[in-house]
Chain A
Amino acid sequence: MLVDVSFPLISILIALPILAGLAIPLLFKNSQKYIIHYAILIALIELFITFYSYGLILSNGSGGEYNFVEGPVKILGNFGIDYLAGMDGLSGPLVLITSILTLLVIFGSRDLIEDRKVLYFSMIFLFQGSIMGVFTQLNMILFYVFWDLVLIPMFLFIGIWGGPRKRYAAMKFFLFTFVGSVFMLLAFILIYFSVSPHSFNIPEIAGKIPLSLQIISSVLFFIGFGVKLPVVPFHSWLPDAHVEAPAPISVFLAGLLLKMGGYGFLRFNIGLLPEASAQYAWIFILVGIITMFYGAIVAIVQTDIKKMIALTSVSHMGFVLVGAFTGTIFGISGSVFQMFTHAAAVGLMFMLSGYLHKATGTRNITVIKGLKFSSPRLATLLILGSMAAMCIPIFSSFISEYMVIVGAIQINPIYALIVAVPAITVGYFLWMLRRVVMSDPKSNVKKWDLSNVSTIALVLYLVPLVLTLIAPWLILDVVNPFSTVYAANFRLMSGGAA
Chain B
Amino acid sequence: MDTPLVVLVVLTSVAVTSPLYEMIFGKKSLKYVQYLTILSLLVSLILLISSTLSLTPQESTVPHLLRNDTLGSFFSFIVILVTLFVSITSFDYMKGNPNERVYYSLLLFTAIGMTMLCFAVDLLVIFVAFELMSLPTFILAGYNKQDKLSNEAAVKFFILGALSSGILLYGISIMFGITGSTNLEVISQSLTSLSPDMLPFVIFSTVSMLAGLGLKLSIVPFHMWIPDTYEGSPTTVSTLLSAATKKAGFASAIRIFAVIFPLFYFDLSLALAIIALVTMTLGNLAALTQKSITRMLAYSSIAQAGYLLIGIVVLPYTNLGLIGLLYHSFNHAILQATAFLAAGLVRLKTSSSSLDSYNGLSKVMPITSFCLALSLLGLAGIPPLNGFWSKLILFSAAVDGGYAWLALAGLVNTAISVAYYLLVIKRMYMDETSIKAIKEPLIFISVLVFATAIIIVTGLLPNVLYDIAEDITISFLANNPV
Contacts and interface: CB of A to CB of B under 8 A. Distances in A.
Interface of A: 74-79, 81, 141, 144-145, 148-149, 151-152, 155-156, 159-160, 166-167, 170-171, 174-175, 178-179, 182-183, 185-186, 189-190, 192-193
Nearest to A167: B430
Query: Which 10 residue pairs spanning A and B have beta carbons closest together?
Result: A145-B383, A179-B415, A182-B411, A159-B430, A182-B415, A77-B466, A189-B399, A189-B396, A148-B383, A76-B466
A167 B426 contact: yes
Interface string B442-458: 00000000000000000
Interface of B: 320, 377, 382-384, 388-389, 392-393, 395-396, 399-400, 404, 407-408, 411-412, 414-415, 418-419, 422-423, 426, 429-431, 462-463, 466-467, 470
A322 B221 CA distance: 50
Contact of B418 (A75, A76, A77, A174): A174
A75 B462 contact: yes
Contacts of B408: 186
A79 B383 contact: no
Nearest to A74: B463
Nearest to A147: B383
A186 B407 contact: yes
Contacts of A141: 392
Q: Is the interface of B mostly helix, strand, loop or mixed?
A: helix
B399 A79 contact: no
Nearest to A159: B430
B418 A79 contact: no
Given A79-B320, A170-B430, A193 B396 contact: yes
A50 B395 CA distance: 37
Contacts of A151: 382
A178 B399 contact: no
Nearest to A183: B411
B419 A175 contact: yes
Nearest to A155: B422
A79 B429 contact: no
B412 A182 contact: yes
B429 A156 contact: yes
Contacts of A149: 383-384
A152 B382 contact: yes
A155 B421 CA distance: 13
Nearest to B398: A189
B419 A190 contact: no
A192 B411 contact: no
Given A178-B418, A192-B396, A76 B423 contact: no
Given A79-B396, A178-B418, A189-B395, A160 B430 contact: yes
10 contacts: A76-B393, A76-B466, A78-B470, A79-B320, A148-B383, A151-B382, A175-B415, A175-B418, A185-B392, A189-B395
Contacts of A171: 419, 422-423, 426
Contacts of A179: 415
Contacts of A192: 396, 399
Given A167-B430, A189-B395, A175 B422 contact: yes
B99 to A, nearest CB: 43
Nearest to A156: B429
Given A79-B396, A145-B388, A167-B431, A186 B411 contact: yes
A174 B377 CA distance: 12
A144 B392 CA distance: 11
A159 B429 contact: yes
Contacts of B320: 79
Contacts of A185: 392, 395, 411
Contact of A75 (B395, B412, B415, B463): B463
A77 B470 contact: yes
Contacts of A167: 426, 430-431
A179 B415 CA distance: 5
Given A156-B429, A183-B411, A185-B411, 17 more contacts: A76-B462, A77-B463, A79-B396, A145-B388, A148-B383, A149-B383, A151-B382, A152-B382, A159-B430, A160-B429, A167-B430, A167-B431, A175-B422, A178-B418, A182-B412, A186-B395, A186-B411
Given A170-B426, A171-B423, A189 B407 contact: yes
Contacts of A145: 383-384, 388
A244 to B, nearest CB: 12
A151 B415 CA distance: 14
A22 B107 CA distance: 39
Contacts of A182: 411-412, 414-415
Contacts of A189: 392, 395-396, 399, 407
Contacts of B415: 175, 178-179, 182
Contact of A190 (B377, B399, B412, B429): B399
A149 B400 CA distance: 27
Q: Which of A166, A175, A182 has the most CB of B within 10 A?
A: A182
Contacts of B418: 174-175, 178
A108 B383 CA distance: 30
Nearest to A179: B415
Nearest to B468: A77
Contacts of B389: 76
A160 B360 CA distance: 12
A189 B423 CA distance: 28
Nearest to A180: B415
Contacts of A160: 429-430
A159 B426 CA distance: 8
Nearest to B425: A155
Nearest to B391: A185
A174 B412 CA distance: 15
Nearest to B408: A186
A118 to B, nearest CB: 13
Contacts of B400: 193
Nearest to A178: B418
A347 to B, nearest CB: 26
Contacts of A175: 415, 418-419, 422
Contacts of B423: 171
Contacts of B393: 76, 79
A185 B408 CA distance: 10
A183 to B, nearest CB: 7
Choose among B383, B399, B400, B418 the residue with the greatest number of A CB atoms under 10 Å from its CB. B383
B48 to A, nearest CB: 22
A44 to B, nearest CB: 27
Contacts of B412: 182
Contacts of A186: 395, 407-408, 411
A125 B422 CA distance: 22
Given A76-B463, A77-B466, A189-B396, A144 B383 contact: yes
A75 B461 CA distance: 7
A77 to B, nearest CB: 5
Nearest to A220: B408
A470 B382 CA distance: 44
A174 B411 contact: no
Contacts of B404: 190
B383 to A, nearest CB: 4
B212 to A, nearest CB: 34
A77 B467 contact: yes
A174 B422 contact: yes
A127 to B, nearest CB: 15
Contacts of A183: 411
A152 B463 CA distance: 24
Contacts of B382: 148, 151-152
A151 B422 CA distance: 12
A170 B466 CA distance: 34
A160 B432 CA distance: 11
A141 B392 CA distance: 9
A8 B415 CA distance: 35
Nearest to A145: B383
B464 to A, nearest CB: 10
B185 to A, nearest CB: 29
A160 B363 CA distance: 13
Contacts of B383: 144-145, 148-149
A166 B407 contact: no
Contacts of A74: 463
